[in-house]
Amino acid sequence: MRGLLCLLIPWIPWTRAEDSAMEEIATEKEAEESHRQDSVSLLTFILLLTLTILTIWLFKHRRARFLHETGLAMIYGLIVGVILRYGTPSTSTYDKAISCSPEQRAFTTLLVTFDPEVFFNILLPPIIFHAGYSLKKRHFFRNIGSILAYAFFGTAVSCFIIGNLMYGVVKLMKLVGQLNGKFFYTDCLLFGAIISATDPVTVLAIFNELHADVDLYALLFGESVLNDAVAIVLSSSIMAYQPTGENSHTFDAAAFFKSVGVFVGIFSGSFIMGVCTGISTALVTKFTKLHCFPLLETALFFLLSWSTFLLAEACGFTGVVAVLFCGITQAHYTYNNLSPESRNRTKQLFEVLHFLAENFIFSYMGLALFTFQKHVFSPIFIVGAFIAVFVGRAAHVYPLSFFLNLGRRHKIGWNLQHMMMFSGLRGAMAFALSIRDTASYAHQMMFSTTLLIVFFTVWIIGGGTTPMLSWLNIRVGVDPDEDPPDGVIANGSRTKQESAWIFRLWYSFDHKYLKPMLTHSGPPLTSTLPSWCSLVARCFTSPRVYNNPEQLREDDTDFIFNDGDLTLTYGDTTITANATTSLDGRRTKSSSEEALERELGGDYEITNRGTRLVFPLEENA
Amino acid sequence: MRGLLCLLIPWIPWTRAEDSAMEEIATEKEAEESHRQDSVSLLTFILLLTLTILTIWLFKHRRARFLHETGLAMIYGLIVGVILRYGTPSTSTYDKAISCSPEQRAFTTLLVTFDPEVFFNILLPPIIFHAGYSLKKRHFFRNIGSILAYAFFGTAVSCFIIGNLMYGVVKLMKLVGQLNGKFFYTDCLLFGAIISATDPVTVLAIFNELHADVDLYALLFGESVLNDAVAIVLSSSIMAYQPTGENSHTFDAAAFFKSVGVFVGIFSGSFIMGVCTGISTALVTKFTKLHCFPLLETALFFLLSWSTFLLAEACGFTGVVAVLFCGITQAHYTYNNLSPESRNRTKQLFEVLHFLAENFIFSYMGLALFTFQKHVFSPIFIVGAFIAVFVGRAAHVYPLSFFLNLGRRHKIGWNLQHMMMFSGLRGAMAFALSIRDTASYAHQMMFSTTLLIVFFTVWIIGGGTTPMLSWLNIRVGVDPDEDPPDGVIANGSRTKQESAWIFRLWYSFDHKYLKPMLTHSGPPLTSTLPSWCSLVARCFTSPRVYNNPEQLREDDTDFIFNDGDLTLTYGDTTITANATTSLDGRRTKSSSEEALERELGGDYEITNRGTRLVFPLEENA
């Protein structure tokens, strides 16, 4: 567990008194030798990543989409794993490995002692933060109701179903005599929680490249991002479920409610932590003129975002979850206060960190398949797990979609449902959760099985995405800027707008109070807050507004139409589309107008009631 | 020493077998508690840095130049150190500290056990790499001879003089009875090496802001960057100097030559490592079309640069030195092959890392003054050290400048010499070198003294830079693009051009062979290499040249005049000035032409021989 701290805080070697005594015994020579070995091991990882980058460049260059970089990283990891495992005859067991060449020993040591908490404390945070920070907010918030349903309800259903099915499988194994250790019901549920964390990184990369349906993208992305958080907290709660007495198979109501309490407590605590840090960063960047010094701004942004993680961990919450919500808050508020240079810098900084961390995890997975010493591969369990994963996903995607469609204006079509079903990849999060504890027999079996599921889904499903998209007739080549204009809503159909009431409620609160308070945009608080709050209102209203009353008007207009939005009036129909240029500069503003005109003749319902309701579209969409 | 590895490779907790047994004994509860404490400690560091950033913004905002951010970070560190030390009565000694509140214990543990190697393996590499990567190459290479002289000869002289003076001081202390432990001659020399590493980060920041004399900037920057490398290797060599027999005071020729051998070996080995990785990165980026995918390119760049460090450490060389030369090579070759986005990304990435690492070191220094448990403050030693440092610097700046002026066309004036003398700040490198080993009495005394010297120089000299500049009549507000055009060289005065022969030799080799081989610019190798190398030449000549013969011409022209260079002809006088826009976009190209004309009427010697010799100026200058 100390390794955790050592890694959480990479530059502080938590050398305790006991160690220093021990260390003094070790000779300088030995230390130097092991230092050298460590460097060699790490060099190999760098070589792996370099190879992955170069190969993936070749793939991208030739537009080959059957293998994503993460899949490739796994393959290279596998190859190195095979070499390490079978390269020399003496490395078949760990004990023998100890007596082999220094390089091999370094590797084996590396792989055996690689602290699983490192995934949680070093590698996952940048990945998850990036996911939150790069959220395409417009489509996310438009589908917020469905996303929350999939993430919370869906993950819980999936976890429960997989857990119960696996309990059946375990019983079967016991019957057949294939079970060589204890495997409790809670272990099954834990496996359900671990394997319910979807990670459609491959699918989304392909969607992004092909510009597939934006709503599908938003649903899958939102679901996968949030269900990571749900799965982490769910697994913590299940671990907290300790029934009184020895018989762990019976249902204990007290323990169950304790678990539910733990879930709610940890989740909301982490949520609040993340949001609070995001808000304080927004306030700091709003009320200082830090944007004149992009370097200071970026450094501050980085430090405060990182502090979320530490704060949450210090309070006993889940850092990764806090970081996710911090990322979303930063993207929604702070991002708008940053200087253009800092926007680029922060995006790029986290993009690079995310890229490196993700590929490291996947290449480590490849390595682990052959070099992890305590694999327990049980054919029955593996087959059962594959079936359970499939059933678990089907059991929440289809029913939930059915219920959601009752309330949605833009129905989630059958083809989208099939695609969602298909895209249930498992990746970094499932791996990190499963490697976290591999002490018991049950956990080892779960780890090995998870590894196989990740391999299978990333290679097979990742590779099958493009054919599947065309087979399901899902439209590709959609410009995110030309998707169904969500300003086109007549009074009559407003209630049918997807997640309408949540969205409307949230939107109006955000627009009236939060945005003006935390950013430089929106109507001045002095006009939205009741008069008795005028002091607060004056304090929080952007100083820019006071300095330049003209700006106030502009800012306001900016917000209603939002930068780059086009509002065209065709007779008494008002349409708004967002023409924001994406950060990588690949998309241009130009197409929006024609796109809109095209859309007008397309399959989107245009009302002619003349009621103009323009939903502001995010600058950062 | 294990901590080193643990930090070198931040995400790998080098948990050894002994530890895991130990760890299993520790209960989960304890681990959780210490995890929480660690988070709190780190949060405090983040708070310190955040405060520093906000305050420094205020300072910059009000254009206050008397305190640099590093100085400020030290002050905040000091304040926290004082609070920790005197905040509660029970923390006066380490033993008592152990029994105080969890937060304080966490802090004290943190400060007591903070592994010094972390400075070398985590914090210094990004700082040093950034220094190399952001080198203003044009002025650096123009003054390369002087810089090398100051860095190598100057540092050696300074080390030797300080070492000998301190040996006198130590003898005096023994005489007075103030010495309570062993203090060998080698310790004195080591102190000389440690304290000879100048780090004029503060001065250079102010120079940059005021646009002070570019040659002075280049000399100081080049000297400080290279003498860090010299000081590291020098201190390693001194540690390697172990005379046979017990009497360490006698001169042992064998040991001395061994030390010299170690110095040459480590330095050249690290140099070669760094340059090789730089070159391989250049080749990879040249021959792949990775520049279409800036993320992949940046990731590759980062990984390969980091691998230099590991490679050097794995081979027993000095990683920090390798990283420096890698940075210089990357800036000189690879940078030109990168896509514009990657250029920005890499610059900004390393800028942020550098900023965070540097401020962390300085705030840690502040903390260390009050919380380090084994300080040995000896008034005589401290006073002696201050005098020795002063004498040591004077003894190389003035004599070396005199000799260099014999060969230089642009003399180093008295005011510049005084400024160089004045700018001998000690900073991160001296601190990192001195904290590396604080086991013996002598080393503890050296550490405490170094800390005081750093404080004094950063605050007093840092604060006095602006007044000193005006007092010494050093011109400020110089546009680096309008400095004496170095293309204005007639045949007759060429030999007097600063570091002319080294520069010419290097330049023509670089221009004819290295640039065309490693980048897309320069004359094609097929024309510069002898005919029997035609196969090699064809392999290495940029594929772009073959794809587009037009480009070849352009590339060539680009190189001779270089992007943005202006070549004006006044009668038969040719002048070249570089009008490169700096990366931060603050300077514009516009001023160059007028600037040149102004310069023509100014104090620069213009020859009218009509011989046109245009030295290509670096794009990255």
Write out chain A residues lying below 8 Å of B49, CB-based: 299, 303
ipTM of the complex model: 0.76
Name the region of B573 (left: φ>0; alpha: ψ -120 to 50; beta: rest). Answer: beta
Percent of chain A whose predicted confidence (pLDDT) is above 70: 72
Q: How far apart are CA A10 and CA A14, in angstroms?
A: 10
The CA-CA-CA angle for residues B183, B186, B192, to 5°, reads 100
Please report the pLDDT score of residue A40 as a whole number: 80
Instruction: Read off the pLDDT of residues A385-404 as tens digits, 9 standing for 90 and up.
Output: 999 999 999 999 999 999 98
> B309: distance to nearest CA of chain A, Å?
9
Name the region of A587 (left: φ>0; alpha: ψ -120 to 50; beta: rest). Answer: beta
Q: How far apart are CA A235 and CA A190, in angstroms?
A: 6
Mean pLDDT: which of A78-92, A210-224, A587-601 is highest? A210-224
pTM value is: 0.78
Burial environment of residue A374 by CB neighbours within 10 A (0 to 12, 13 to 18, 19 or more): middle
Residue with tokens 């830079």, as numbered in its chain: B465
The CA-CA-CA angle for residues B328, B329, B335, to 5°, reads 95
A307 contact B CB<8A: yes
Q: How far apart are CA B162 and CA B191, in angstroms?
A: 8
Write out chain A residues lying below 8 Å of B102, CB-based: none
Please report the pLDDT score of residue A542 as a whole number: 65
Q: State the number of CA atoms in the 13 A half-sphere of A36 facing the CB.
A: 12
Among A350, A338, A349, A331, smallest CA distance to A294 is for: A338
Whether the CB-CB separation of B192 and B166 falls below 8 Å is answered with yes
Mean pLDDT by 10 residues, chain B (621 residues): 34 38 53 74 84 85 77 87 71 43 53 65 87 80 86 92 93 87 87 88 76 84 87 85 58 78 90 93 87 88 91 88 92 90 89 89 86 86 93 92 85 88 87 86 91 90 84 77 44 44 78 82 74 75 56 35 32 35 36 38 32 36 33
Please report the pLDDT score of residue A605 as a whole number: 30
Please report the pLDDT score of residue B439 as a whole number: 83
Q: Answer whether B348 sits within 8 Å of A352, measured CB to CB.
A: no
When computed from its CA atoms, the radius of gyration of chain A, rounded to whole angstroms, is: 26
Q: Identify any residues that bridge with A109 across adjacent strands, giving them in sequence order.
A: none
Residue with tokens 């079970």, as numbered in its chain: A179
Q: How far apart are CA A208 and CA A464, in angstroms?
A: 15
Instruction: Read off the pLDDT of residues A536-546 as tens digits, 9 standing for 90 and up.
Output: 777 777 666 55
Kindly tell me the sign of the dihedral angle through the C-alpha atoms of A42, A45, A49, A51. positive
Ranking A105-119, A213-227, B96-110 by mean pLDDT, the lowest is B96-110
Residues A325-330 have a mean pLDDT of 92
Please report the pLDDT score of residue B44 as a whole number: 82
pLDDT at residue A556 tops 80: no
Please report the pLDDT score of residue B460 as a whole number: 86
Concatenated DSSP letters for A217-241?
HHHHHHHHHHHHHHHHHHHHHHHH-
Kindly tell me the sign of the dihedral angle through the C-alpha atoms of B426, B432, B437, B439. positive
Would you state the structure tokens that stand for residue A19, as one six-digit string? 């160690």
Q: How far apart are CA B203 and CA B469, in angstroms?
A: 10
Write out chain A residues lying below 8 Å of B35, CB-based: 1, 4-5, 8, 313
Q: Of B310, B435, B582, which to mutate for an interface test with A (greatest number of A Cβ within 10 Å)?
A: B310
Would you state the structure tokens that stand for residue B406, as one six-digit string? 């014999």
Find the CB nearest B8 among A32, A38, A122: A38
Q: How far apart are CA A451 and CA A438, in angstroms?
A: 13
Q: What is the DSSP letter of B577?
A: E
> B302: distance to nearest CA of chain A, Å?
9
Q: How far apart are CA A192 and CA A237, in angstroms?
A: 13
Residues A258-268 have a mean pLDDT of 87
Please report the pLDDT score of residue A303 as a whole number: 92
pLDDT at residue A275 tops 90: yes
Residues A287-304 have a mean pLDDT of 88
Q: Answer whether B2 sits within 8 Å of A16, measured CB to CB.
A: no
DSSP run (H or E) holding A568: strand A565-570
B118 contact A CB<8A: yes
Write out chain B residues lying below 8 Å of A353, CB-based: none
Greatest pairwise CA separation for chain B in angstroms = 86
3-class DSSP state of A578: strand
Residue with tokens 């489509």, as numbered in its chain: A139
pLDDT at residue A448 tops 90: yes
Q: Identify any residues that bridge with B578 across adjacent strands, giving them in sequence order.
A: B565
Pairing of strands B565-570, B573-578: antiparallel
In this structure, the number of other CB atoms found within 10 A of the CB of residue A473 comes to 8
Please report the pLDDT score of residue B19 as a whole number: 47
A113 contact B CB<8A: yes
Rounded (10°) CA dihedral A446, A452, A457, A460: -160
B62 contact A CB<8A: no
Instruction: Read off the pLDDT of residues A471-503 as tens digits, 9 standing for 90 and up.
Output: 888 877 776 555 444 443 333 344 344 456 767
Residue with tokens 């005049």, as numbered in its chain: B561
> A338: distance to nearest CA of chain B, Å?
15
Ranking A48-62, A98-112, A145-159 by mean pLDDT, the lowest is A98-112
Find the CB nearest B38 among A8, A42, A47: A8
pLDDT at residue A17 tops 60: no
Residues A425-435 have a mean pLDDT of 88
B303 contact A CB<8A: yes
**Could you write out the three-class secondary structure of B275-316?**
HHHHHHHHHHHHHCCHHHCHHHHHHHHHHHHHHHHHHHHHCC
pLDDT band, very low/low/confident/very high, at A107 (cuts 50, 70, 90) = low
Q: How far apart are CA B128 and CA B327, in angstroms?
A: 8
Please report the pLDDT score of residue A244 as a whole number: 54
Would you state the structure tokens that stand for residue B33, as one six-digit string? 């508690």
Residue predicted with more confidence, A122 or A302: A302
> B29: distance to nearest CA of chain A, Å?
11
> A244: distance to nearest CA of chain B, Å?
19
Residues A5-14 have a mean pLDDT of 34
Please report the pLDDT score of residue A313 as a whole number: 87
Write out chain A residues lying below 8 Å of B3, CB-based: 13, 15
Please report the pLDDT score of residue B88 as a whole number: 53
For helices B214-240 and B319-329, angle between their N-to-C axes, nearest 10 degrees: 150
Write out chain A residues lying below 8 Å of B296, CB-based: 53, 56-57, 60
Residues B456-472 as b/e (b if ≥16 CB within 10 A, e otherwise) read: bbbbebbbebbebbeeb
Among B153, B294, B430, B30, smallest CA distance to A351 is for: B294
Please report the pLDDT score of residue B161 as a whole number: 94
The CA-CA-CA angle for residues A351, A353, A356, to 5°, reads 105
Whether the CB-CB separation of A311 and A273 falls below 8 Å is answered with yes
Q: How far apart are CA A613 and CA A486, in angstroms?
A: 9
3-class DSSP state of B474: coil
Would you state the structure tokens that stand for residue A415, as one six-digit string? 């083809």
Among B614, B620, B511, B507, smallest CA distance to B568 is for: B614
Percent of chain A whose predicted confidence (pLDDT) is above 90: 17
Instruction: Read off the pLDDT of residues A230-262 as tens digits, 9 standing for 90 and up.
Output: 888 888 888 777 665 555 556 677 778 888 888
Q: Answer whether A293 sits within 8 Å of B13, measured CB to CB.
A: no
CA distance to B218, B562, B598, B603, per residue, from B595 (Å)? 21, 18, 5, 13
Please report the pLDDT score of residue B616 as a whole number: 37
B314 contact A CB<8A: yes
Whether the CB-CB separation of B524 and B549 falls below 8 Å is answered with no
Q: Answer whether B1 sits within 8 Å of A295, measured CB to CB.
A: no
Q: How far apart are CA A566 and CA A583, in angstroms?
A: 19
Q: Of A5, A11, A24, A350, which to mutate for an interface test with B (greatest number of B Cβ within 10 Å)?
A: A11
Burial environment of residue B607 by CB neighbours within 10 A (0 to 12, 13 to 18, 19 or more): middle
Write out chain B residues lying below 8 Å of A125, CB-based: none
Q: How far apart are CA B181 and CA B441, in angstroms?
A: 6
Whether the CB-CB separation of A437 and A116 falls below 8 Å is answered with yes
Find the CB nearest A12 among B26, B49, B110: B110
CA distance to A127, A137, A325, A518, per residue, from A330 (Å)? 15, 12, 8, 10
User: Helices then strands (H, E): number in chain B?
Assistant: 31, 2
**Could you write out the three-class secondary structure of A486-534?**
CCCCCCCCHHHCCCHHHHHHHHHHHHHHHHHHHCCCCCCHHHHCCHHHH
Please report the pLDDT score of residue B300 as a whole number: 92
Find the CB nearest A13 among B20, B118, B348: B118
Would you state the structure tokens that stand for residue B188, as one six-digit string? 């004195």
Q: Answer whether B43 sits within 8 Å of A314, measured CB to CB.
A: yes
Q: Of A38, A346, A359, which to mutate for an interface test with B (greatest number of B Cβ within 10 Å)?
A: A38
A103 contact B CB<8A: no
pLDDT band, very low/low/confident/very high, at A271 (cuts 50, 70, 90) = very high
Find the CB nearest B5 among A28, A38, A293: A38
Q: Which residue stretches of B62-101 are H helix?
A: 69-86, 94-98
3-class DSSP state of B351: helix
Q: Where are the beta strands (DSSP E) in A383-450?
A: none
Whether the CB-CB separation of A196 and A227 falls below 8 Å is answered with yes
Concatenated DSSP letters for B26-63?
S-HHHHHHHHHHHHHHHHHHHHHHHHHHHHHHHHHHTT
Residue with tokens 């065209």, as numbered in its chain: A568
Q: What is the mean pLDDT of chain A?
A: 74
Residues A322-331 have a mean pLDDT of 92
pLDDT at residue A159 tops 90: yes
For A300, name the nearest residue in chain B, comparing CA atoms only.
B50
For helices B124-133 and B294-314, angle between their N-to-C axes, nearest 10 degrees: 120
Phi/psi at B570 (5° precision): -110, 105
Please report the pLDDT score of residue A392 as a whole number: 93
Please report the pLDDT score of residue A505 as a whole number: 80
Q: How far apart are CA A434 and CA A195, in angstroms?
A: 8
